[in-house]
Structure 1
Amino acid sequence: MKSTHLTGKLRPALRRLNAGAALAVLAAATVTTGAASADTVHRSDRGRLVSVERTTTLTAKEDVAAALAAAGFDASTARFGVDAYRLVYRTVDPGGRPTTASGLLVLPRGGEHELRTVSFTHGTASYRSDAPSAMVRAGFVSSPAITYASAGFAAVAPDYIGLGTGPGLHPWMDVPSETTASLDMLRAARAFVPRTGRALGHDVLVTGFSQGASAAMGLARALQAGDDRWFRLAAVAPVSGAYDFRHAELPALLDGSLDPKSSVLYSAYLLVAWNRLHRLYDSPDEVFRTPYDSTVEALFDGSHTGPQLFAGTPDTLDALLTPHGFEMLRHPTGRLARALRVADSTCDWAPRVPVRLYVADADEQAANANTDHCGAALRSHGVDAAVVDLGVPDFAGSRHLGSNVAGTAAVVRWFDQLR
């Protein structure tokens, strides 16, 4: 769910980085009241290709290595050049209504005819052009997919609803729609890949970073449950997730344990996006102080860049939230409590495949207690998931962002061992 380190040396770095690479935060959401269930949409339409566009070709592994190194990612596992495509496909929104979404598919220029698939679900993005499929070169959100493809996998990276070229607004941290968008992106990839002379096998290795970590767990659970007749879950490796918003992430946001600006952005995001999904408040002045009560919702429309969001929000929660806003987040009730139970259930199952949870020391945006709670939830179902300590990785002054870089390097090697 996370963005970048939002204080100190990162502020000038934002001017040099792509907004999605340095921010990876905030967007808006979609009203879902009164909508139909996703099950009412005919399954034959979900995952159907609408369009395909080749966005990038890196002919040789040396080209991939140079591109990944320039983006700050480990290039040592590159074995092949890659072709990248933007897929637009049919799926459903959070209320089950038909819509379209986009995503990035990256294929190796070599290797096996039948490819094993890696699904990578990205961290929080606000600006729709910061989605993986919008990147025409290796960047923070696209480099993981390029890394997996250059190692010989078919890499599938959904943009989620309302990002990339998908219509509407993005329902942030809505695990059900993240799951359907991810599953339908796999179906779209399977439909397209034979046109390249290749095929996708049954196995899917599932990973994701930050917001994408809980999305990865949602997709993994759906695959294990047999929600698709072709694909089957092979392994799960989420990185730096906010798996327990109510009992781990929100307390850390509110008590000052995490980066203050990050806490402002994520608290604002949660209230605005989930209000549109779940109607948490009637008027923004109930939860946001002046002048943000008249400006903060408008920032979350998918058209504002990371620096615009920084400039448009205060540096502390005290300047953002009213007493009622604080109370809602400290003691969730009603619709917010029910929504949190859904978001916080992603580790409440028993994977029958290898599982590893990746985490950085003292992550300044995703409280480490999230991973502790996820591991405990898995153990309650008889699954002792290995926790992999990534140490103190750094990207633009952020351990959280650094964990995406370090986690990608670690996960691709583990997935290679599972071939």
Structure 2
Amino acid sequence: MPRLRAVSFAHGTGSHKDDAPSAQRAAFVSAPVIAHASAGAFAVAPDYLGMGTGPGLHPWMDIGSETTASLDMLRAARAFAPSTGHVLDREVMVTGFSQGASAALGLGRALQAGEDHWFRLGALAPVSGAYDFGGAELRALLAGELDPKSSVVYAAYTLVAFNRLHSVYDDPGEVFRAPYAGTVESLFDGAHTGQELMAGTPGTLDELLTEHGRGLLAHPTGALAEALRTTDAVCTDWAPHAPVRLYMASGDEQATTENTDRCRVALAGNGVHAPVIDLGADGYHGSRHLGSNVAATPQIIRWFAALTRR
């Protein structure tokens, strides 16, 4: 059978269960994986835990579950490939956007560590990630350096999602101001749309967070600090043996580019040269962050193709 190299694409943040590739097969969230497939790759795009038709709530920015979802999708793809007349190469080209950029690094680390008996890491191309989420990203968010409304949503999502796994607070009123303390958790139940989430949250962090809530994000302690150390280890605790490129967009209003700078420095400290590709300032629907996903995709397709021909 003809052999194909797999490309794994991890998607960006969503709050509704339908904000996943399986439910949006001709939309922004799945466009990159479709583009990779159209270029001749066996492209796969996992739904994260709790997304799509999966049960339960989505553990946002949880690298462990994002990694296992990605590995499981690759294994399913390998089992399915013969029915299309193909077999999959061992090397996997790994990419992802925003939340998916960290997920891509988590998958790359797992592949290199041999967590699957067949697949190995071929290359890494994460886009506009929050790799230093507990440091650079939360600092920029609280300092007002990012889009105010996006900052409100990400601050709320951080506290709610991490609390579900790590018991960050005992009562929402400890971290959220009224009236949002009584409503904000339900907005992240997987049934509310992004529009409903935007309408149900305030315009500023000062309206959303109590003093304790802001302080917890500024100086995480206890279970939150421990969880963020795991989230933030995607660039620091390993050295990829495969080629790596980090894609970002100057002026990104949602993921501070300091994340990418810190990832590059951390990888360099482990002996890895990871060029940073600045995609410029073009936006998509007014967003440079979203625009980076659009701009990066054709560049990554060409880079992966060049590596495959070697």
- TM-score scaled to structure 1, two decimals? 0.73
Local SS of the residue matching 1:155: strand
**One-letter amino acid of the structure 2 residue matched with residue 369 of structure 1:** E
What is residue 132 of structure 2 aligned with on the other side?
244
Match of 2:62 among 166, 174, 182: 174
Local SS of the residue matching 2:123: strand
What is residue 268 of structure 2 aligned with on the other side?
379
What is residue 408 of structure 1 aligned with on the other side?
297
Local SS of the residue matching 2:277: strand
Match of 1:195 among 83, 103, 111: 83
What is residue 13 of structure 2 aligned with on the other side?
124
Give the total of aligned pairs: 307
**One-letter amino acid of the structure 2 residue matched with residue 185 of structure 1:** M
Instruction: Identify the range of structure 1 (140-149 vs 126-135) with the bigger mean alpha-carbon deviation.
Output: 126-135
| Deviant stretches of 4+, over 4 Å | none
Q: Distance in 1 between matches of 2:298 and 2:140?
A: 28
**One-letter amino acid of the structure 2 residue matched with residue 262 of structure 1:** S
Residue 393 of structure 1 and its aligned partner are, at CA, apart by: 2.2
Match of 1:367 among 250, 256, 265: 256
**Higher helix proportion, which one?**
2
2:30 aligned with 1:135, yes or no?
A: no
Local SS of the residue matching 1:302: coil
Local SS of the residue matching 1:418: helix
What is residue 393 of structure 1 aligned with on the other side?
282
**One-letter amino acid of the structure 1 residue matched with residue 175 of structure 2:** V
Local SS of the residue matching 1:134: coil
Q: Distance in 2 between matches of 1:135 and 1:351?
A: 32
What is residue 337 of structure 1 aligned with on the other side?
225
Match of 1:218 among 106, 127, 145: 106
- TM-score scaled to structure 2, two decimals? 0.98
Q: Distance in 1 between matches of 2:19 and 2:100?
A: 14
Local SS of the residue matching 2:7: strand
Q: Distance in 2 between matches of 1:167 and 1:373?
A: 35
Match of 2:244 among 325, 338, 355: 355
Overall identity of the aligned pairs, in %: 67
2:166 aligned with 1:271, yes or no?
A: no
Q: Note the aligned Cα RMSD (angstroms).
A: 0.8
Q: Distance in 2 between matches of 1:171 and 1:410?
A: 30
Residue 410 of structure 1 and its aligned partner are, at CA, apart by: 1.1
What is residue 301 of structure 1 aligned with on the other side?
189
Local SS of the residue matching 1:371: helix
Unaligned regions of 5+ residues in structure 2, if any? none
Q: Distance in 1 between matches of 2:221 and 2:177?
A: 21
Deviations 1:258-309 (A, max 9, x none): 0000000000000001000100000000000000000000111111111100
Q: Distance in 2 between matches of 1:113 and 1:223?
A: 23
Q: Distance in 1 between matches of 2:134 and 2:103?
A: 17
Q: Distance in 1 between matches of 2:112 and 2:282?
A: 32
Query: What does residue range 40-119 of structure 1 map to in structure 2 within 5 Å?
Result: 113-119=2-8
Local SS of the residue matching 2:45: strand
Q: Distance in 2 between matches of 1:234 and 1:172?
A: 26
**One-letter amino acid of the structure 2 residue matched with residue 199 of structure 1:** V
**One-letter amino acid of the structure 1 residue matched with residue 251 of structure 2:** A
Q: Distance in 2 between matches of 1:332 and 1:203?
A: 38
